[in-house]
Structure 1
Amino acid sequence: MQIDIDHLRQWIGREERATEWLSAGLARQFNATFDREAPCDEGDEAALLVHWCLAQPAAPTASLGPDGHPARGGFLPPVPLPRRMWAGGAFRFHAPIRVGDLVERVSTIRDVTLKQGRTGPLCFVTVDHAISANGQPALTERQDIVYREVTAAARVAPAEPAPEAPHRRRITPSATLLFRYSAMTFNGHRIHYDKPYATDVEGYPGLVVHGPMQATLLCQFAADLRGAMPERFDYRSLSPLFDDADMLCCATDEGDGLKLWTARPGGPVAMEAVAEWS
């Protein structure tokens, strides 16, 4: 497939803005989805990474493709490769978001690059997000998106089992959990909630656990272990997780911070992350 990278790079610098109030209802639903207990009255501190449920693009249903994703183009470049995946990202936290805040997201295309992987071309799109709450900086985010061929996504290369960890949290990625998270983030991608589509059309062994949801669980796990919001959190997806087995959130101390990862029992690392506090 010929990919006109010069054309796609014309999207660099494009900007998108959106705002939404963080309601008490959404804060309660977010906590309930992740089995967290915390007050959700106006002014209370919201759970980490709740901003992924706010000010998300709302494409009309008629404009969605057969996989549930919006049509290509618009803010993101129209990469012709069919599989779009969340590859990783990084956060710098400045202040907590609180229930009742007006949250604004300013997104900018930072870079578009083309690489050749073992299974075909890979197109990487880097997006910067500046998140503010009531006009004050709350966090800055780098989001890495990768586009690839159909045959590349379903293959899982053999890898060593994830290491043991002194801190572990076991989570069952049930269809209900995945559906709830898809609904809150307005993510229509069918691989996360439509098992016949995920297995029969995409060729996966089950529903795919969202990358952002894994990052959320790891970031919250880090904050719970240290009793404070991290200042920096970087993460990278290495292999997929599915709903056919429990997932483990793991952590080990590394200097002044934590090294974290997700994995299925006996499986390889799915997502790796580092949380840091000054």
Structure 2
Amino acid sequence: MSDPVQTLTDVIDPARARAMQATLGHDPQIEKGDPLPPFFHQLYFWDPQAPAKLGRDGHPKVGRVIPDMGLPRRMWAGGQLEFEAPVLAGLPAKRISYVEKTAHKEGRSGPLGFVTMRHETWQDGKRCIAEWQDLVYREDPRPGAKPAPPEAPTDEDVAEPVSFDTTMLFRYSALTFNGHRIHYDLPYAQQVEGYDGLVVHGPLLAQYAMLLAERQLGRLTRFAFRATAPLMHFETAEVCWKSDGTIWLRGPDGRQCLTGTAA
């Protein structure tokens, strides 16, 4: 097993969880001792860095925790979570992080760097969540180079519309202490990273997917997801569920933005 690269401690503040519920349009009601909804642990274990220690994209510079893959653009490409015990609001917890693996590959759009981080969330001596986070690094966009996204299925059993705006993206960035400029700096997102607008956070899309899966299945034990195309802040999408445990997010033009499985 690899050695930890970082250990962070935090108190699972109920007020932050309630702020997330409000951001999602839900009744803010989490109190001390309540179990967090799935994926709400993303709101905790901040690692704030001084401006001099940030990269051009607003993330902490690579090489300290995450290896430097020699490529400038970062995306959270997907992940897998195993929910072993509830994380309870109002109590101290810790997150231990490991570099699971790294790789370089050649993609259709140029060289790619892959990093898989493993995070373990512990509380009261128990491992509550084991999580694998897949990051991909790539070159700056080439003019006119936009790969065709996959087409989303249309055979879902449940579909729920979700929409986003700049306020929601700002609030989610603040709650997760995510400084990535593609989520709030429109000129940077368009002119440097080549997007059509502000990018909706991949983990925010996964959050909606997990909450829908929980409503269908009850408490989750496992969730895996993969981001397949970006969604812009001005777009309305649908979170889709099928009874075999598959879930996806369909953009307004039918493209698949995220796919996942739940149990």
- Once the two structures are superposed, the pairs formed by residues 118-267 of structure 1 within 5 Å of their partners are 118-151=108-141, 155-226=146-217, 228-254=218-244, 258-267=245-254
Partner residue of 1:28 out of 18, 39, 61: 18
Deviation (angstroms), 1:22? 0.8
Taking structure 1 as reference, are residues 177 and 190 closer, same or farther at Cα in structure 2, changes over 3 Å only?
A: same
Q: How far off is 1:35 after superposition?
A: 1.6
C-alpha distance after superposition, 1:122-155 (max 9, x if no partner): 1111111111122222110011111111127972
Q: Which amino acid aligns with 1:120?
A: G
The SS at the match of 2:79 is strand
Q: Which residue of 1 aligns with 2:65?
A: 75
Q: How many residue pairs end up in the alignment?
A: 261
Q: Distance in 1 between matches of 2:24 and 2:178?
A: 17
> Equivalent of 1:104, from 89, 94, 117?
94
Counterparts of 2:112 and 2:4, CA distance in 1? 21
Partner amino acid, structure 2, of 1:193: Y
CA distance in 2, matches of 1:33, 1:211: 16
Shift of 1:52: 0.9
Q: AA paired with 1:274?
A: T
- The AA in structure 1 aligned to 2:121 is I
Counterpart AA for 1:230? L
TM-score by length of 1: 0.89
Amino acid at match of 2:198: L
In the alignment, is the contact (CA less than 8 A) between 1:93 and 1:232 conserved in 2?
Answer: yes
- 2: CA distance, partners of 1:121 / 1:65: 20
- Distance in 1 separating the partners of 2:219 and 2:228: 25
- Say if 1:168 and 1:250, in contact at 8 Å, map to a contact too: yes
In structure 2, the CA distance between the partners of 1:194 and 1:64, relative to structure 1 (3 Å rule), is: same
SS in 1 for 2:30: coil
- 1:14 Cα offset (Å): 4.7
Q: Deviations over 1:157-180 (max 9, x none)?
A: 154354242211111111111111
Q: Secondary structure at the match of 1:19?
A: strand
Q: Name the aligned partner's letter for residue 162 of structure 2.
A: I
Q: How many percent of aligned residue pairs carry the same amino acid?
A: 37
Q: Give the RMSD, CA atoms, in angstroms.
A: 1.7
Gaps of 5+ in 1: 1-11
**What residue is the counterpart of 1:18 in the other structure?**
8
User: Helix, strand or coil: the match of 2:243?
Assistant: strand
Aligned counterpart, 2:257 = 270
